[in-house]
Structure 1
Amino acid sequence: MGALIEHARAKVNLTLRVVGRRVDGYHDLESMVAFADCADRLSLTVGSELHLVTTGPLAQACGETADNLVFKAAQLLRERVANLKVGSFTLDKVLPVAAGIGGGSADAAAALRLLARANNLAIDDSRLIEVARLTGADVPVCLESRACVMTGVGETLLPLALPIMPCVMVNPRIPVATRDVFQALGLRSGELLVGFADVIDAASWPETGASLEDWVEALAAGTNDLEAPATRIQPVIGGVIAALNATNGAWLARMSGSGATCFAVYENTAEAQRAAQQIQLDHPGWWVHAGTLS
């Protein structure tokens, strides 16, 4: 068998509401999630031993192999599936880390898809789903990598028919720890940010076949509750959003996840390409990607 290959697409939180903090310390969220056309590349050569090699422009940012979510997911699945075929993973890392786009989670999800293929496991195998949840809050949504509303601590997913959205994604190459952002949000255990009336008035998303303009209008009514605390930690996030808003044709600019990656949605890919070129020219040290969300 030759090497099996999967792509770990970047996750983008188009909206993110923090409903509250549970008594166990975890935060309940409601997020509209899409996936970008930029991705890490993960390959698996089936063998008797579990190995992971990282390559690519951002390989050095991946840290120790033992801490990598690819390795963690594979180990957890091996504990649950007898005689699981494993092997050597090679991760070509191009997405920035600690960036609010689920890079590590997408890598772990890609590893689970590869192991499922190598072992003839269904993608909805209960053991696969359990491992995804145990590996990280964003791993379940990355497992299928399709647009959806994600609620709870990431375990409940409602698929949505999202149109293709031309976009620009920008990261200032400054990592932001999710834990620090939630700490800056400052919720106590058991505290709610969203009351009963807010749940009743929750956003309803456009019907299947709705236009891009309709979707942007609906998204603009939302927010990312982590944007303000993340910006207090790294003020450059405000500068990234300002740079995106300053480009021609930007319909909506917002931070993704816990930052520092931000995105803007455009009417067409040509405008997105021109905007990305301008931002890259003005800020040569930033990571910039022009593409689509879906």
Structure 2
Amino acid sequence: LKAGGAYLPLDPAYPSTRLRQVLDDAAPRLLLADAAGRAALGAEALADLTVVDLETATSTWAELPASDPEPRALGLTSRHLAYVIYTSGSTGTPKGVMVEHQSLVNHTTWQADRFQFAAHDIFLQRTSPSFDAAVWELWAALSIGACVALLPLERQLDTRTIFDLINKCQITILQLVPSLLSALLMVTDVEQNEIDSLRYVFCGGELLKNEQAAKWLQFAPRALVNVYGPTEATIDATAWVYSTGFNTPVVPIGRPIANTRIYLLDGHGAPVPFGA
């Protein structure tokens, strides 16, 4: 990212056919991989790629200067791509969503300012890097000098592991899908003091129901944020901070993030009237 390039995350837990499909479509010039990554892809997929082995004793960039490249000298602008993440393919062939540096910077700056993230915060990175929700878990934290605790990919949905890591690492910022939020509430042997460190819990990716939010806040009375946005809009387009006493069945998706406008349109693409 500092060099102005884009990254394409590949989760080694995905089927090799899916990973090869993404590689064939995106055609990256360089692949950073360890043994697990190479095994997941297979030798055939690696044949036409320049592969940098992350486990070698001497890295290929060891002889390069420690200083950052000069963006202007390279002709880089904020319109260059920051990352490409592929959709689930639920509506057809998976498509690569291309997000520019300016969009990622905007979201990162909005979130850090809006929720007053600080260098002493500790983020739990529990989302697969192949989903855009992982983008802010990493870059929002690193951009302000905060700490990121990494949850093993194979334990992403292990509720006991999540609680243990929150307690052990004193996590302050946590992101969950609403279904996992509900699952956490079913772990009966967890004491509330195990998650006392949390400042914010962000929910997104699924419909958040008032019942889920209310139950969580009874267990852990701290800020719960409902975020909404398709991958194409750069992670989140809107946010709503849930408050106790709110009692409609569906939690609102909230207001647009900084430098963003929301248009409510009907099936013909025309603006809907007020109150619709």
More strand per residue? 1
Larger Rg: 2
Give the number of the structure with larger relative contact order, counting CA–CA contacts within 8 Å between residues 6 or more apart: 1
TM-score by length of 2: 0.24
